[in-house]
A and B are shown apart, each in its own frame.
Chain A
Amino acid sequence: MDLQIFLLLGQDGVTNGAIYALLALALVLIFAVTRIIFIPQGEFVAYGALTLASLQAGKIPGTVWLLLALGLVVIVLDGVQMLREGRYGKLPSLLIFNLGWPLLCAAVLFALPPGDLPLALQVLLSLLLVVPMGPMVYRVAYQPLAGASVLVLLIVSVAVHVAMIGLGLLFFGAEGSRTPAFTEVSFELAGAPLQGQTLLVVAASAALIAGLYFFFERTLYGKALRATAMNRTGARLMGIAPTLAGKLCFTLAAAIGVFSGILIAPITTIYYDSGFLIGLKGFVGAIIGGLASYPVAALGALLVGLLESYSSFWASAYKEVIVFTMIIPVLLWRSLTTRHVEEEEE
C-alpha cells in the first residue's frame, strides 16, 4: 500500500467514521436518558437518504404516508386519554403536530413537483417528513412501556426495527439509490485527491456535534435531558416528565439519523435495509464508549470507520466480519475494566 492509497482509504474511513460518530452519539443519548437501546436508529438513516432520493427522482416518498398514519395513531392514543381526563386545552397542539403537520407536508408534496425544487429545499423537506416520526415512534411503541426492563425495551427496539425495514421495502422498493453529490469540488492532498464531498460530510458532522454540545451545555432543555439521564426521580421532581425527555431525545436522534442519511446518500448506494448495518457500526462505537461516554463513543465510531476502510483494502469480503468481530475484544476489555453491580429489575 502506498501513501496515496493510504490517504484515500483514510479519507473514506473518516467520512464514514464521522457518520458513525453522529449515530453513536444519538445512541448513547437515547440510552442514557430512556434506557432504550435504539436499534432502529439506522432505519432513520435509510429513510432520510431514500426520502431525499425519491424527491430528487420527482416521486412522492412513501414516508409521507407513514407520517400521516403514525400521526393518526398518536392522535387516537393521546386524544382518547385527553378527552377522558377532560384536558381539552391540549387538544389543539396535539392535532397541529400530529395531523396538521403531516397534512401540510403532503399538501406541499402534491402541490409542488418535488423534483424541480432546489436541493436545499429537498433536504429540508426530507428532514421535515422523517424527523417527526422520531417522537411519534416513541409515543406509539415505547411510551406505554415506560417502566419496562432494558431487555424488554431492547426487544421492542428490534421489533420496531423489523417493522420499519418492511415498511422501507414497501415505500422505496428493493432497488438501491444514490443521490448526486452535493459538490463536485476536489482538492489534492499529498498526491491524493481530496473530495469536496468528504470535507462537507466531516464539516457538517463537526458542526452538528458542536451544535449538540451547545444544546446540552448551554440550554435549559439540554440540561433537562442530562438531568433525566443522571437522576430520573430528581428530574421528575423538577417537572421534567420522562415522556417529555423521551420525545425530545427521539426527535434529536431522528434528526441526527436523517441528517446522516442525507450526508451519506451521495457516497454509498443506500437500500431499504442498509440502515441496519450502518446503525450497528454506530453501536460498535457507542459500546466502545460503554453506552455512556460521548467523546469515547465518537472516537470509537471514527475508529470503526477507519478499520472498515482499511480492512476493505486487504480483505474486502471480510470487511463486515472484521468490523463486527471487533466488538468482542472491546466487550472483553469493557468487561474486565468495569465492575458491574447487578441492577435488580422487575
Chain B
Amino acid sequence: MSHVIPSHLHDHEVILDVRDLRVAYGKVEALHGVSLSIRRGEIATVIGPNGAGKTTLLSALMGLLPASGEIVYMGHAQGREREVEALVRQGMTLVPEKRELFAEMSVEDNLLLGAFDRYRTGHRDHLETLDEVFEWFPRLEERRGQLAGTLSGGERQMLAMGRALMAKPKLLMLDEPSLGLAPLIIKEIFRIIGELKKTGVAILLVEQNARAALQIADVGYVLETGEVTLSGPSGELAADPRVVEAYLGFGKKH
C-alpha cells in the first residue's frame, strides 16, 4: 500500500491551508471567512448540523464554486481561477456527497476512470493502482464486473472512495461518507478512512455524524451557519458539550 504515498512529501508538511474563505450564492454569502489547515497524514474533520455550509466548503475547495480568500495548496498560493480539472491534476480529489458514480458502467470501469488524468499525462500504472484499491476494498474486486448503479449504498461509497484513490491523491476530501448508511457499514468505512491516513494522504472529512468523525480525526472544526464556531484537537471537541448544542439547539433552552 505504500505506493499510494507520494514519496517527495515530508512528514507534517502542510498540504492545505485555507484562510478567510468566503463563498456566496449570488448576493447571499454562505461561508463567512472559514480558515482551516491540514497536514500530510492527518485527518481533519469538519462537523456541523445540516445546512451549515459543509458541502459548500468542499465544493469551493474543489473549484466547483467560485470563492474568495486565501487557499495555499502544497505550498503554492492558488489564484482566483481554479478549475476542477487542474486541481485533480495537482492531486486533489473529492468524493462528493452524491457519490456521482457512472451508474451504467462496471465497477472496474468506474475505478479506471479514476485514473483518467494520470493516464492522460502518461502515468500508465493504473492496473497496479487498481490492485491496491482492491486490497483496500476487497468487496469491489468481487463486484468488478457489476454495474455501479446496482450496488448497495455501502458499496457505492466504497466505489466512490476507491475511484478517488485511483488518482493517487495527496488530498482526499470526503463529503458525508456515512450519509444514508447503516451503522455497521459506517463503522467499516470509518475504519478504512482511519487506515488510509497511514499512507500519508491528507484527509478532509466532512461529516454530520460527529461522534464517528471525531473518533478517527486528528483535528476537528465545528461549522455553524457558515462560520467555524469551535475548533481544536478532536478528542477535546468530542467532550465539549457545545457540540451537542450546535446540533440540537438546546443551548438557548438551558
What are 29 A-to-B residue pairs whose CB atoms are below 8 Å? A85-B81, A220-B126, A223-B105, A223-B109, A223-B113, A224-B113, A226-B104, A227-B113, A230-B102, A230-B104, A231-B100, A231-B103, A233-B96, A233-B98, A234-B96, A235-B102, A236-B84, A237-B84, A237-B93, A237-B100, A237-B164, A238-B116, A238-B167, A239-B85, A239-B116, A239-B117, A239-B167, A240-B117, A241-B85
Known A227-B113, A240-B113; further 12 A-B contacts with Cβ < 8 A: A220-B112, A220-B126, A223-B109, A224-B116, A230-B104, A233-B96, A237-B62, A237-B100, A238-B117, A238-B163, A239-B167, A240-B116
Task: Give how many A residues have a beta carbon under 8 Å from the other chain's beta carbons.
Answer: 18
The listed residue (A85, A226, A241, A244) touching B105 by CB distance below 8 A is: A226
- A83-114 contacts to B (CB < 8 Å): 85
Taking a contact as CB atoms under 8 Å apart, the answer to whether A234 and B85 are in contact is no
Give bound CA distance, A280 to B80, whole Å. 44
Give bound CA distance, A224 to B81, whole Å. 24
Taking a contact as CB atoms under 8 Å apart, the answer to whether B101 and A239 are in contact is no
The chain A residue sitting closest to B116, CB to CB, is A238
The listed residue (A230, A231, A234, A239) touching B89 by CB distance below 8 A is: A239
Give bound CA distance, A244 to B64, whole Å. 17
Given A85-B81, A224-B116, A234 and B101 contact (CB-CB distance below 8 Å) = yes
Give bound CA distance, A235 to B109, whole Å. 12
Mask, A214-226, CB within 8 Å of B = 1, is 0000001001101
The smallest C-beta distance from A39 to any residue of chain B, in angstroms, reads: 27
The smallest C-beta distance from A147 to any residue of chain B, in angstroms, reads: 13
The chain B residue sitting closest to A217, CB to CB, is B109
B21 within 8 A of partner (CB): no
The chain A residue sitting closest to B89, CB to CB, is A239
Mask, B57-74, CB within 8 Å of A = 1, is 000001010000000000
- A143-184 contacts to B (CB < 8 Å): none
Give bound CA distance, A307 to B62, whole Å. 52
The chain A residue sitting closest to B119, CB to CB, is A220
The smallest C-beta distance from A227 to any residue of chain B, in angstroms, reads: 5
Give bound CA distance, A86 to B244, whole Å. 48
Given A237-B88, A240-B85, A231 and B113 contact (CB-CB distance below 8 Å) = no
